[in-house]
Structure 1
């Protein structure tokens, strides 16, 4: 047997060879460049054309941006400095308008001594949303998440601290109505009670209670009117409010559109189709102008609040269709499995169906949020001073009349940072959920 084996096997290695580095063509930057840019003659041609385009753009933009002027009090002074340093034909940016007016672009006409209030509110928002975005954080931080909206409102608008506290008590009443009366009167009746009871409390009791408490114990900040807010602070207030409020409302509408109950189904369908069928700018004009005709004389309905409501309703209609797509993509067996476990409708949706449908809908939901945040610039058409509106105000002054690109580049960069961050978190969440379900 050994002789036959020796005759059929020409060579048998008795020791392992030493490990060696892979060849240069199979690793590192060289492999990436060859595989992505030089793999075929067409890719080589497209790479050369792309490099030429990038070089042409950067050779004009980088000198204009890098050698810009930061210290000047007006466009005329900025041009005089440019003529002295680079000549009359020099092409450099006048970033002095940003260093001169950055507070106005960020905060609008908010009182300068109170800039710390919106900054603190934004930091509080980041801390409050972190437990929702990252599951690794302690669940106890969710108490901060619940309290943050009321504290942020008080910090930004000011006034007595008892107003937000009394408003928060209404939500506590709604929770108590569901928690304590649900087992006795049924889920549907408890939900109706949880809606009606807080509304009655807010309309009748909350205002007088807040005034009485502020009289006894006056604690508060200097009030700031909504008309004094503008810039990116305004965009963040409207955008964050619309995003936070439209997601649960959109989920409810999506479930309503798939409901077997005729009335709930048709109301959800009509709402979604009417809202989606009309441009957002029309709804903003409706909130700004037409809504006053349907309110009692002398009613003071804050314009920013009206805009937030319209933006929330508009976004929720799109969120509803995105979530409905996730529900439709879910296999029918998941619904049947939830029924087989003996779960009622709400438990099956909360524990089985919605987690999977929302996972499928993540890209569409984040895309809708990004579009909503960028659409906040439309409020300029109804008189609110968003960053675009403030740029027009700055350019209307005699000091900066005639400046364009610098303001628009700064505004675009700020919007890009927020939208890019949302997009990257979407990718992070998709990868995290994909790993957890392997």
Structure 2
């Protein structure tokens, strides 16, 4: 039985864990006392690995960033990537305002958090976090400081020797390997979390998760069917939907089931070739998009962070939410290539509101529970947008 389970995909194992957890919670609620350790260990593992993950991945991606080949032709595609991610994050903010979601979190009743009231306070906190000592930032999980040091060192190391960059890549691969190991234990951790959550809150939890999934997927559909077509129409000056629907059908559906933008690169390159895109451009823009074009991740980070803010009853201004959008876009570009990688960057966004790491990691764990649908939809949006924007810019020239 164990051998058969290990051969199943991660999605299938998470589904089984959720079903078993719900059955155990309703049939034997007292079991929550015994299995709560499983969820605690999983959250602790995420909390331990997240700071070093953010640091190494962002450092490696910037140090090895190179678009020297056809840089002039890539500029409009890169611009679309950035604009598309920003508009996706803004859409997530307005979706969260219109359909506010809450989460079921284990919070000390005495906990009272207050979001910064003014933009000046936000900028002050950001600047103070930026100049934090790197060792302190890692030890205290100060994700803003971690991000600042990763970007700074990444820019400095862009001019380092190839052997140094090779070492950085090896370290990045090693950290990714650890993340994959941790995520492989996700079904066990999620089983413990589901038992405890359902035993404590019952069907109310399921209601919250259904609404959260609806907001996430609805926002991603809005980006795919409204925002992206508008951008493509501006570039091509013609009806964008034939191209949009082709990319969603031939790239998005494949990415939905593979749940990996990297694994979908050959599909996108082949599609771009059939659409008449210059192979020299698509060979660079599509792999680059798989690494940094993360509109779906920006949506996920923004909505889950604001759901945590709502749960903690923190009053946040629209200006602060828009600042969160920009931060979500920046962090989304450093998403890990593993399934659910964007979820591990939620603590970076939560740090903008001074939300403790313990609570942020609970949000990550909830994201793992709904990742069966969320991560598939996110990857479909990310990957189909890579080939869509590349094709739009290239076909507009013709």
Could you say which TM-score interval applies, normalised by the shorter chain?
Answer: under 0.3
Bigger Rg, structure 1 or 2: 1
Taking CA–CA contacts closer than 8 Å with sequence separation of 6 or more, which of the two structures ends up with the larger relative contact order?
2
TM-score normalized with structure 2 length: 0.27
TM-score normalized with structure 1 length: 0.25
